[in-house]
Amino acid sequence: MSNGIALVIESLVAVLLVMTIGYCWLLNKRLLKLRSDESVLRATIAELVTATDIAGRAISGLKQAVHDCDTALGERLGRAEDISRHITEQTAIGEDVVRRIALLATAARPAPLKPEQPPANTQTQRSSSTLAAAQAFVRRNQERHSAA
C-alpha cells in the first residue's frame, strides 16, 4: 500500500509540475506582449514629447508676434489720436474764419433795392415760357426712357 500511495503522490506532483510549466509558458507569453507594448508606448511618449516641444516653441513665437503687434498698434493709435486732435482744432479754426467772412460779407453788402414789379403781360410771358420748357423737358425724358 505504501507503493500505491507513493505512486499517487508522485502522479499528483507530476500533474502539478505540468500545470506549473503551462502556467509559466502562459505567463512568459504575456510578459513578451507587455514588453512589446512597452516599446510602442515609449515611442509614443517620445513623439508626444517632441510635439510638446514644437508646440511650446510655436506658442513662444505667437506671444512675441502678439507683443510686436500690440506695440505697433499702440503707436498707430497714438498717431491717429494726434491727427484727430489736429483735425478738430483745424476745423474749429476754419469755422471761425467762415463766420468772420460771413460777417464781413454781410457788412459790405449794400442795402437791398426793392425790385420793380414787371408788367402783368411780361409775367404771363414768363409763365408760358416756363411751362413750355417744362413740357419739353418731360418729352425728352420720356423719349430717353422709352429708348432705354
- Per-residue model confidence as pLDDT tens digits over 22-74: 999 999 999 988 888 888 888 889 999 999 999 999 999 999 999 999 999 99
Closest CA to 19 of 30, 27, 29, 7: 27
pLDDT of res. 118: 54
Is 134 among the domain residues? no
pLDDT of res. 94: 87
Cell digits of residue 147: 429708348
Is 81 among the domain residues? yes
Is 64 among the domain residues? yes
pLDDT of res. 115: 59
Is 86 among the domain residues? yes
Q: How confident is the model at residue 148 (pLDDT cuts 50, 70, 90)?
A: low
Is 116 among the domain residues? no
Could you list the residue range(s) of the whole structural domain that residue 64 is in?
A: 2-107
DSSP 8-state code for residue 109: S
Cα–Cα distance, 133 to 141 (Å, whole number): 12
User: What is the arithmetic mean of pLDDT over 5-15?
Assistant: 91
Burial (0-12, 13-18, 19+ Cβ within 10 Å), 107: exposed
Half-sphere exposure of 95 (CA within 13 A, CB side): 6
Cell digits of residue 110: 449794400
Is 76 among the domain residues? yes
The number of domains in the chain is 1
Q: Is the pLDDT of residue 125 over 60?
A: yes
Rounded mean pLDDT of the chain?
Answer: 85
DSSP-derived secondary structure for 71-96: HHHHHHHHHHHHHHHHHHHHHHHHHH
